Copies of this chain bind each other. A is one copy, B any other.
């Protein structure tokens, strides 16, 4: 491997000058610059990332922590992060987190060992107070996705208009004047889920009608949604007239149950999900669209900016949601189950 010294030798210049052209820090005569560039190409020289990191104390990489969830959601978020960070010449160091793994480990190798200049923590990567304290010490910019963090240290965050989106969904459902409305939430500690529930309650209150609102606790998984809904139906002995699952996966579980019982959708029961994932689009599930890629882009933008200027005040970006009315609430052609 050619080193900077080889380039110096070849050009007869000092390390300082060669370093300057590598970093494009101006202050170099154009002719010299070209001479160096030529030598670099001829030697097939690439600056050692390790050395630059050590000497320059910056890594040009941003650490991303994603939950281990195989659906398309986080790929899209990741893609958004990628778009913006590629543009900013930042590489992505990615770690997956699941409840069995140790977030502290991940955090210390990313920030403690100085592998990254900034961090993006996605939903479902629960920060413990102690970890936050450590992170604060390392003072590396952090952007949170779908999580809030009000105390010090200041962290940027990208949030969803959950309240609004859930409210829209409920309003849409109530248009047909159902007697009963079931919502299936995500995990209790999930911020998105909490906000959606607030939105639901508010919308129901605002509607000033007398729907019966039942809150079922789900887990954001297909099977979980199915199970909790099935259980409810068994207990109550009847189907509700409207169901709002806090994500599409669970809504799909609800549809399973409904289809197996040959209930007409949306004739007897309306169903709405949240996310607008691939299957929802495919089968015509009414849902609330979440701008996944944009979320990633915003998160990357936030940290990229903060890397340049750490003094910026923490920013919180709210991403818009939008109701997508489809067949399961009577829009478009009628729904017919893909599973029989």
Contact = CB atoms under 8 A, between A and B. Distances in A.
A15 interface: no
Interface residues of A, number: 54
Given A93-B92, A115-B91, A336-B338, A50 B54 contact: yes
Given A46-B108, A93-B61, A108-B46, A333 B338 contact: no
Nearest to A108: B46
Interface in A312-340: 327, 333-340
Contacts of A54: 48, 50-51, 53-54
Contact of A279 (B48, B59, B278): B278
A195 interface: no
Contact of A68 (B79, B279, B338): B79
Contact of A46 (B49, B113, B340): B113
A133 to B, nearest CB: 10
Q: Which of A114, A138, A338 has the most CB of B within 10 A?
A: A338
Interface string A118-145: 0000000000000000100110000000
Given A44-B137, A252-B282, A50 B114 contact: yes
A70 interface: yes
Given A282-B252, A282-B338, A339-B283, A46 B112 contact: yes
Interface string A285-321: 0000000000000000000000000000000000000
A94 B95 contact: no
Q: Which of A51, A91, A93 has the most CB of B within 10 A?
A: A91
Nearest to A138: B1
A267 interface: no
Contacts of A12: none
A265 to B, nearest CB: 12
A5 interface: no
A59 B59 CA distance: 13
Given A71-B72, A96-B79, A338-B338, A49 B113 contact: yes
Contacts of A171: none
A200 B111 CA distance: 51
A74 B282 CA distance: 20
B70 A79 contact: yes
A211 interface: no
A177 interface: no
Given A50-B50, A112-B46, A115-B91, A338 B70 contact: no
Interface of A: 1, 44, 46-51, 53-54, 57, 59, 61, 68, 70-72, 74-76, 79, 82, 86, 91-96, 101, 108-109, 112-115, 134, 137-138, 252, 278-279, 282-284, 327, 333-340
21 contacts: A1-B114, A46-B109, A49-B53, A49-B113, A49-B115, A50-B114, A53-B54, A70-B72, A74-B75, A75-B75, A91-B109, A91-B115, A93-B93, A94-B94, A279-B279, A283-B283, A283-B339, A284-B339, A334-B340, A337-B338, A338-B338
Pick the 8 closest A-B CB pairs, nearest first. A338-B338, A46-B112, A50-B53, A50-B54, A49-B113, A283-B338, A333-B340, A49-B115
